[in-house]
Amino acid sequence: MSPFKIRSANLKLQKMKAMIYTLGIFLFLSCGQANKKTNEKNEASASTELTEVTLHIGGMTCAMCVASIEKGVSEVKGVEYVKVALNDSTAIVRFSDAKTGMDEIKKAVEKRGYTVKSN
């Protein structure tokens, strides 16, 4: 191997290193942009108008009641979150005002044999 060839091989290696380095920076930058975009998306969905209410439920006696109410309420179109607590007989419901209302949620609970008092 001539000294010239060795030098050109080194040059190639350096070029490759530079390319990998640039590619790395590029990936890092595009990755950062992607993260930024997802963050914006999350903020947008978090800012959609949701109403949270605490309902007082009557007639719950066991975990099956909790499951039944949670299922019934979660099936109401526009309900984003429901958490029923047996020990204090409450249901926390978050829903989109544009898609549903208290009447719909109350109906869903009453349909399953329980009573509702909202505050």
Positions touching Cu ion (CB under 5 A) are 61-62, 64-65
Closer residue to Cu ion, CB minimum distance, 69 or 100: 69
What does the DSSP 8-state code read for residue 78?
Answer: T
Quick one: 59 or 78, whose CB is closer to Cu ion? 59
Smallest Cα–Cα separation from 61: which of 102, 119, 113?
A: 113
- Considering the complex, what minimum distance in angstroms separates the CB of residue 37 from Cu ion? 45
**Chain-centroid distance, C-alpha 12:** 48
* Smallest separation (angstroms) from Cu ion to the CB of 29: 56
Instruction: Kindly state the smallest distance separating residue 61's Cβ from Cu ion, in Å.
Output: 4
Interior CA angle at 19 toward 18 and 21, to 5°?
Answer: 65
Smaller CB separation from Cu ion, 33 or 61:
61
Q: Is 113 helix (H, G, I), strand (E, B) or coil?
A: coil
CA torsion through residues 67, 73, 77, 80, sign: negative
- Least Å distance, CB 79 to Cu ion, is 21
Measured from the CB atom, the residue of 1 and 62 that comes closer to Cu ion is 62
